Every structure is written in structure tokens, then in C-alpha cells.
Amino acid sequence: MHGEQETFQLTKPVDGALVLTVVGEVDVDDGEAAQEMANRVCRGDQRLSVVDLSRTTFMSSDFLNVLLRLYHHHRNHERRLVFVLPGGAALTPLQVTGLDAVLTTAPDLESALAF
């Protein structure tokens, strides 16, 4: 287990946006912390949520489920959600599951914040 503070970071880089940055590996032991951070994003009143996966090196299937629930919450509440996916380790599981075709993605944080 990597710990919530090491793996998951919430920031508000600009007014109206909340960014969840995921750093390193997210394995099955991080499931509870991942869900709590996703819940915090869902409870916010921001106009835009960004999940930055640019520094993610591994994602378990449990974490993919958390991301999918986050996506559905935002869609059902008509809120914007963008995933930062420059490629690499985070992109592969999303491609395998077909989520890369469903999620709104950006190549970097600056582009994501422009949505």
C-alpha cells in the first residue's frame, strides 16, 4: 500500500477546477484510498474535474472501476471530467478495456484545464 498522500493529491490550480493527480502505482491495496479521493472529487462544486494520470505507472482493475464510477457520476450530473493521458503505463489498461474511446482525454494538464 502506498498511502493516500503519496499516491493521490488534490489541488485547485485555477478557480473552478479540481485536479486529482495520481502518482506511481495504484494496486488493489490502494482501492479504499482511491475511492475516498474519487468521492471527494464528486462532492466538490467545481465546474471541471481533472484526473491527471501522467505520473501513474500502474493501475489495478479495481482502480479502473473507480475511474469508471467517477466518469458515470460526472456524466449523470452533467459535469465536465477530463483525464490527462499523455501515453505510457496509464494508457495501456484504458486501451485494453476500451475506456480510452469513452473518456475525455488531454495530453497534458494545461490542455485539460482549458476544457
Does the pTM surpass 0.75? The reply is: yes
The domain 4-113: what is its CATH number?
Answer: 3.30.750.24
What residue segments make up the domains of the chain, in order of their start? 4-113
DSSP E strands, the chain = 8-11, 17-26, 48-59, 80-84, 105-106
The reported pLDDT for the residue numbered 83 is 98
Determine the 3-state secondary structure of 42 from DSSP: helix
> Could you give the CA distance from residue 113 to residue 36 in angstroms, rounded to a whole number?
23
- Please tell me the distance from the alpha carbon of residue 84 to that of residue 49, in angstroms, as a whole number: 11
Task: Output the pLDDT for position 88.
Answer: 85
CA distance 112 to 13: 12
pLDDT tens digits, the chain, 115 residues: what are they?
444 447 999 999 899 999 999 999 999 999 999 999 999 999 999 999 999 999 999 999 999 999 999 999 999 999 999 999 998 889 999 999 999 999 999 999 999 999 9
